[in-house]
Amino acid sequence: MAQREYNFTDIETKWQGYWEGCCLFHTDDSKKKDKFYCLVMFPYPSGTLHVGHGRNYIIGDVVARYKIMKGYNVLSPIGWDAFGLPAENAAIKGGTHPAAWTHKNIKAMKHQLRRWGVGYDWDREVTSCNPDYYKWTQWIFLKLYENDLAYKKKAAVNWCPSCSTVLANEQVVDGCCERCDSPVRQRDLVQWFFRISDYAQKLLDDLSLLEGWPERVKTMQANWIGRSEGVRIDFRLEGSGEILPCFTTRPDTLYGVTFVSLAPEHPVIEQLVTGSPCEGEVMAFVERARNQGMVERTAEDAVKEGIFTGTYVINPVNNTKVPLWIGNYVLMEYGTGAVMGVPAHDQRDFLFSKKYHLPVKAVIQPEGESLYAETMKEAFTGEGVQVNSEAFNGMLNTRAMVAIAEHLEMKGLGKRTVTYRLRDWLISRQRYWGAPIPIIYCETCGTVPVPESQLPVLLPEEIEFLPQGMNPLAKIDSFVNTTCPKCAAPAKREVDTMDTFVDSSWYFLRYLSPKDNNQPFDKKKVNEWLPVDQYIGGVEHAILHLLYSRFITKALYDLDFIGCKEPFHHLFTQGMIIKNGAKMSKSKGNVVSPEVLIEKYGADTQRLYTLFIGPPQKDAEWNDRGVPGAHRFLNRLWQKVVEFEESYAKVGRTQIDMQKLPPKAKAIYRQTNQTIKKITDDLDTSWHFNTAIASIMELLNNIDSFKVVAPRNTGEELEFRVFRYSMETILLLMAPFVPHICEELWEAMGHKPSIFHNKWPEYDKDAIQEEEVEIVIQVNSKVRSHISVPVDISDKKLKECVMKDERVISYIEGKTVVKTIIIPKKLVNIVVK
RNA sequence: GGGCGAGUGGUGGAAUGGCAGACACGAAGGACUUAAAAUCCUUUGACCUUAAACGGUUGUGUGGGUUCGACUCCCACCUCGCCCACCA
């Protein structure tokens, strides 16, 4: 009788339908089992998925299926991060409405996820561009606004004068507009911010709670928050005596200050130069520096430029008069927007002083050396001893840092402060395809939040997309014109929308009650299900998305909306899929489409290859030629099981007694148990799916050489039962990786579906113990021989055996044994002279 | 410039102080076939020795160190990738 073929297409369709039918991934909140919230970063619906994207969802699916078999109540939801610029660009280019474009892509991607056999609780699907979702994004904005965590201020945007439109950073290429190539300028607009900087310390401190996060992600976040301790020193303007605070982390260099430099944006500049002879020149410089834009101004080899304001300031510590400059390298957003210039001990200041012929004054000497300002070729930034620093001379500069700071505080000339690099989160976008900011401007009442009862502020559907002009919403009169919620007078709506990172910083809360029309999330359910047990996504989100989500979670916690301080308990960041030396992406033109592979080899093959390609936390090179290898393995597994399809039911199912097994069957039984241990350990800790799969391949290779026959007499039956046990174990162990084929073969072996309703196999502790071990014998650290000995052999006995070995004898003959090193169960090294 | 990774056969990778190259891919040879595909078997880091087997030497980016023993730990350097970047 001809054997059944491995018809993966039919099998995969069958089981995908089955899982949906039996609600395998449907999560019932009321279940009493331990919960496991498994979350993959929800995708942006940009078009279609390629095999590189697949890695993320396949890993998530493996974990979810494994935890189901381990008996957890697993929640594995999915949704769509559906607002954003590409949809709007597509509208400008192709004339499709962003909503239509987005929903078309969602449909296509949903189909792809299904065909991968990736399971989700589709009843919980959320789509961030739907009003029933963004209503609550707006609600979060209102809560932050009510609690002074959202505010507005002027901030610069990239402005293309020729398109007269605002550009996102990624639309600026080499300082020019990506569309028309004209130089981008900076323009100030009033924009909305979230006060994430208020949470800088908490976000930093609580990194220590995140035990299940990779160290490198925590380090990246800590660096991004960028806490630095320093001193605010109050310089005084000559003449007016007005205070000009400067921030420094190096108060020990205070006596070496030879100038002070302001950011071009510094508010004091205008009042200083107005009416002065250099006004025109200075304001022209400021204008130029500001239009340089951040891109150019912060470039690696940016030229340091400055201009003298004509004013002097007084160094509070010694009343020295130094010139006040403006420097394009000084940032208004960091510290106080004014820095003290110490050319002798800061490289940037050194270069600046050389360019503008400002004096250099050394105040720290390296031990045993003397620095002379005239001969210095670069700034000295190391540790040393204070000189030219009055009372502090002779002190180590590290001590002087503290001493000078204390001195300044005592005299009321400054204050020790902590500064963070983290800046407030600018959430305004001058775009259509985002959640409208729920704010109304009234001539009498000012800025008025939209009342909760009037949410959502709906995006108008009828809209024109042009490559030019301000925010498209500003042109829709019916949207802009409204009435003030307070006084009912005619008023105007805010026309900016929110950064899409706002949408994605709370979606994991919405999954818990996705259809609730009365509240954004159910506090009780949030407290039950959060934190997310396992979050899986790309390392490119290590900073922004993960920090914003942490911030929103903390803010909601402080406002008592949820009882959880940190959203994600364990984080897994998978590596990129590389093809031909570059990240797989549409723009690089190196994408591999899953459809072709699925048609030719099936989804299980693609899953297996993706998992086998390398450790998932590392980048991996995709090689199409490797795919048939994965398929070959599945085919072999198929043949092996199906070959005996008729026999499985005929043999009894009593416990196997290992001691009664013939040697070969015993070895297979032992290896099967060792494989259970190996795979379970891999899934629980290291996630090295590649070596997990390799160990199953090894097991199957050995089973192959264990010529099984369909049982006819009693002795054969015993061997056949070991074979059946091993094959069943392989199916259970492989089920999370390649679920379709395992379901089908599980059924072929005489079981009722689903394989996922079975318990994860456990290994027999006695069975994994080897009786004999092979010992490596080295002479002078070179491998010279091997012997096989019982595991429990004593060191003395082992040494005796080793010394009897012929090859050992020939190597140590005529030499003196200096020492013998014995590593139990592994190796013996004889050192001779 | 700062931070974080990574460098192992023709390729993806394995080994985290103890036999380097597991498991795959590819390649070469063979079996089956009218033929091809599929499948199965054998070989496969380099070099030396040998009729063959056995054997030997060498080998994990470079140079040093620690150790009986180093891909693995320490120091210095080179190269590549990612993230950030004039942060006072």
Instruction: Band the pLDDT of A126: cuts 50, 70, 90.
Output: very high
The amino acid at residue A437 is I
Residue keyed to tokens 């001195």: A407
Return the closest nucleotide (C1') to the Cα of A339: B88
The amino acid at residue A421 is R
Torsion, CA A406, CA A407, CA A408, CA A410, rounded to 10: 80
Separation CA A88–CA A98 (nearest Å): 6
ipTM above 0.90, yes or no: yes
Q: What is the mean pLDDT of residues A744-750?
A: 95
- pLDDT value of residue A697: 95
Q: Is the CB of A698 under 7 A from strand B?
A: yes
Contact call for residues A401 and A290 (beta carbons, < 8 A): no
Separation CA A399–CA A36 (nearest Å): 52
**Given a cut of 50, is residue A300 above it in pLDDT?**
no
- pLDDT value of residue A157: 77
Q: Choose between A132 and A577: higher pLDDT.
A: A132
Q: Is the CB of A636 under 7 A from strand B?
A: yes
Protein CA at A626 to nucleotide C1' at B10, angstroms: 14
- B chain positions with any atom within 7 Å of a protein CB: 1-6, 11-15, 18-20, 22-26, 38-41, 56-57, 68-70, 81-88
Predicted confidence (pLDDT) per residue in A531-543, tens digit? 999 999 988 788 8
Contact call for residues A290 and A156 (beta carbons, < 8 A): yes
Taking each helix axis from N to C terminus, what angle separates A8-21 and A603-612, rounded to the nearest 10 degrees?
90
Residue A45 vs residues A73, A101, A170, A719, A772: alpha-carbon distances, Å: 29, 9, 18, 53, 57
Protein CA at A705 to nucleotide C1' at B74, angstroms: 47
Residues of A 342-361 whose CB lies less than 7 Å from any atom of strand B: 346, 348
Contact call for residues A424 and A195 (beta carbons, < 8 A): yes
- pLDDT value of residue A297: 55
Residues of A 264-323 whose CB lies less than 7 Å from any atom of strand B: 297-298, 300, 302-304
Predicted confidence (pLDDT) per residue in A314-344, tens digit? 999 989 999 999 998 888 888 888 999 999 8
Predicted confidence (pLDDT) per residue in A537-595, tens digit? 988 788 888 999 999 999 999 999 999 999 999 999 988 888 877 778 777 778 888 99
Strands (E), A116-174: 126-127, 150-160, 165-167, 172-173
**Given a cut of 70, is residue A106 above it in pLDDT?**
yes
- Mean pLDDT comparison of A138-147, A359-368, A588-597, highest-scoring range: A138-147
pTM: 0.90
Q: Look up residue A696 and give its two tokens.
A: 């199953």
Residues of A 421-440 whose CB lies less than 7 Å from any atom of strand B: 421
Q: What is the mean pLDDT of residues A218-233?
A: 87
Q: What is the mean pLDDT of residues A56-82?
A: 95
Protein CA at A620 to nucleotide C1' at B12, angstroms: 8
Separation CA A361–CA A343 (nearest Å): 7
Q: Is the CB of A418 under 7 A from strand B?
A: no
